[in-house]
């Protein structure tokens, strides 16, 4: 196993540029952070996390992560093919 998991080479097989990879990972990490904030509140209240339909996209797509940080988790989701770039957003993001 490399020092960084998943490796940049593995990730670049899924996403065609470093810029897009970094952009996608950052956006996904923010969504994961939002989920874990909601989860912390629910846990403090002794409740299950309940997400509305418009918030379901922030939930993690993997059961187990090797990374403890949101960016690492986002990269693992990208490597698993669970998070992809919406082709309609490519031109908007790069302007």
**Which residues, including other chains, have CB under 8 Å from residue 57's CB and lie 6 or more apart?**
31
Q: What is the pLDDT of residue 5?
A: 84
Q: What stretches in the chain show pLDDT beneath 50? A: 1-2
Q: What is the pLDDT of residue 4?
A: 75
Rounded to two decimals, the pTM is: 0.85
Buried/exposed code over 20-46 (b: 16+ C-beta within 10 A; e: otherwise): ebebbbeebbebbbebbebeeeeeeee
């Amino acid at each position: 196993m490399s020092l960084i998991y998943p490796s940049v080479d593995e990730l670049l097989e899924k996403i065609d540029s470093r810029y897009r990879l970094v952009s996608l990972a950052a956006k996904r990490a923010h969504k994961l952070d939002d989920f874990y904030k909601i989860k912390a509140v629910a846990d403090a209240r002794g409740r299950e996390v309940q997400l509305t339909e418009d918030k379901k996209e922030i939930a993690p797509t993997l059961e187990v992560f090797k990374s403890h940080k949101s960016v690492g988790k986002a990269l693992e989701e990208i490597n698993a093919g669970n998070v992809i770039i919406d082709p309609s957003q490519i031109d908007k993001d790069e302007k």
